Amino acid sequence: MASRSSPSGDDPMTEVVTSIRAARGGFQWVIEDWPGMPPAVNSPDVECAGHRWRLRIYPFGREEEFAGHVSLYLYYCGRDQGVSTSYAIRIVNQLAGKPDFVVSVLRKKSFGFIHTEDVVNNRGFPAFIPQARLNDESRGLKVSNRVIIRVELTVTADEPTHVLRTTTGARWTPSESLERDMLAALEGAQEGGSAALVVEGQRLACHREILSFRSPVFRAMFAHGTREASRNEITIPDVSLPVAKELLRFIYTDRCSEGAIESQGEQLLAVADKYQVERLRQLCEVELAGSLTIASAADRLALADLHTAEQLREECVEFVARNAEVLSTPGWARLSESGSNIGLVGEVLASACGKRSGEPMEDEDPDSAPGLTPSRVKRLRVSELRRELSSRGLDVGGAKHALQARLTGALAPKELQAA
């Protein structure tokens, strides 16, 4: 019998579709009084091509070595790592028919929040353009002391996206059953459960062993000698029935119902904090931080401060500092009128003043050494600390100081030597 060298219409066929995603954008910085510029100045942060960027310019050269030139750098201001980018920086010619001055970097460069051997947070040119060439107004690059700098960016995904499409004949594999089985156990607790939560007068049957395993607070409440242990029943006040059901669902399956965190994130954050269900609390922080609005920012800042949700708190402070409109909202009025929030209000206002003054970042040295060092660990936000710890397979729970200590203790010897 002859073998077939090519698949027939009845044989399984897998098609791989590969694409490379790219985002493009640009921004422009208009400087009206070039001679009055200080020795170094930052542009405002700008959202462009899906990320935040800014320019840093040294009108008289970054160092004595580059005197007689303008030094210009493009800074990545986001929190991602390995942002593959090609770019062009141009000084726009303001005289009709004359060319712009353009420097293009067509080979992709890797930007990121944390310096490594291959990734830095800025790239640029210490001798971008001779001052004499820029100051000659007959060339059109500076007219009436006005200079226009334009940046054009293309950000490309590091890895291509592959989509598999399989036709008939694909091999069958059994579906996962853990979540389904745990939900069945929760629903069956009405008959075989060993405990119950009482919420709004309704008993939610459950298993004390599972609650104790997943929550240190429930474990302590079920300890010997407590009223809850003797009755196998815990009353949960100040929590709505839907939120309590989602808490139980998460304890059993490690996930909430679809859309629950988006719609009930603030309430779930509070109950997760109360009963120390750490992963649920972190998921709520991420969701609430990612959906901040002018109207919600102040209330979520107060919520984060109340429940020591440090990642959400940092995101809220930064959001308010970037969006002065928040200071006119009812939520900000409630926050500022509360005597217990004086320190929090002061922190936000100080951050806002720093943003508007163009205050340079501490690590804005183009020649800074690569690597994650203990000093840089201290400057990481909670979200970066958790990401770094997760990438090393370490626990991401705890307060910020604990995360810093854990990450510093995990640094490789060569990273410590670089410090």
Q: What is the 3-state secondary structure (H, E, C) of 79-133?
A: CCEEEEEEEEEEECCCCCCCCCEEEEEEEEEEEECCCCCCCECEEEEEEEEEHHH
Q: What CATH number does residue 78 fall under?
A: 2.60.210.10
Going 96 to 102 to 106 to 108, the CA torsion angle's sign is negative
In a domain, 168, yes or no: no
In a domain, 104, yes or no: yes
Averages of pLDDT over each 10 residues, the chain, 419 residues: 46 73 89 92 90 92 87 88 86 90 80 72 87 92 95 81 64 78 84 88 92 93 82 91 96 93 95 95 92 91 91 88 88 82 73 48 37 77 85 87 90 51
With 0.85 as the threshold, say if the pTM is over it.
no
Q: How far apart are CA 383 and CA 389, in angstroms?
A: 10
In a domain, 257, yes or no: yes
Q: How far apart are CA 86 and CA 312, in angstroms?
A: 32
Same domain membership, residue 142 and residue 67 = yes
Same domain membership, residue 149 and residue 27 = yes
Q: How far is CA 383 from CA 48, 159, 305, 352, in A?
A: 22, 23, 16, 20
pLDDT the model gives residue 188: 80
Q: How far is CA 96 from CA 31, 99, 154, 205, in A?
A: 19, 9, 27, 78
Nearest by Cα to 110 from 121, 99, 101, 102: 121
Same domain membership, residue 142 and residue 80 = yes
Same domain membership, residue 191 and residue 146 = no
How would you classify the pairing of strands 51-58 and 46-48? antiparallel
Q: How far apart are CA 113 and CA 83, in angstroms?
A: 9
Nearest by Cα to 317 from 360, 353, 275, 352: 352
Q: What CATH number does residue 228 fall under?
A: 3.30.710.10
Neighbouring C-alpha atoms within 13 Å toward the C-beta of 235: 6
pLDDT the model gives residue 77: 87
State which residues form the domain around 110. 22-157
Same domain membership, residue 257 and residue 201 = yes
pLDDT the model gives residue 90: 92
In contact, 381 and 397? CB cutoff 8 Å: no
Number of Cβ within 10 Å of residue 344's Cβ equals: 19
How would you classify the pairing of strands 101-112 and 81-91? antiparallel
Q: How many domains does the chain divide into? A: 3
Same domain membership, residue 265 and residue 139 = no
Residue 160 neighbours by CB under 8 Å, 6+ apart: 18, 19, 20
In a domain, 219, yes or no: yes
Q: How far apart are CA 300 and CA 295, in angstroms?
A: 10
In a domain, 221, yes or no: yes
Q: How far apart are CA 76 and CA 174, in angstroms?
A: 45
Same domain membership, residue 55 and residue 127 = yes
Same domain membership, residue 96 and residue 220 = no
Same domain membership, residue 146 and residue 26 = yes
pLDDT the model gives residue 206: 93
pLDDT the model gives residue 167: 60
pLDDT the model gives residue 219: 92
Same domain membership, residue 386 and residue 285 = no
User: Bridge partners of 240?
Assistant: none
What's the maximum distance between 2 C-alpha atoms anywhere in the chain? 90
In a domain, 341, yes or no: no
In contact, 143 and 95? CB cutoff 8 Å: yes
Amino acid at 2: A
pLDDT the model gives residue 253: 94
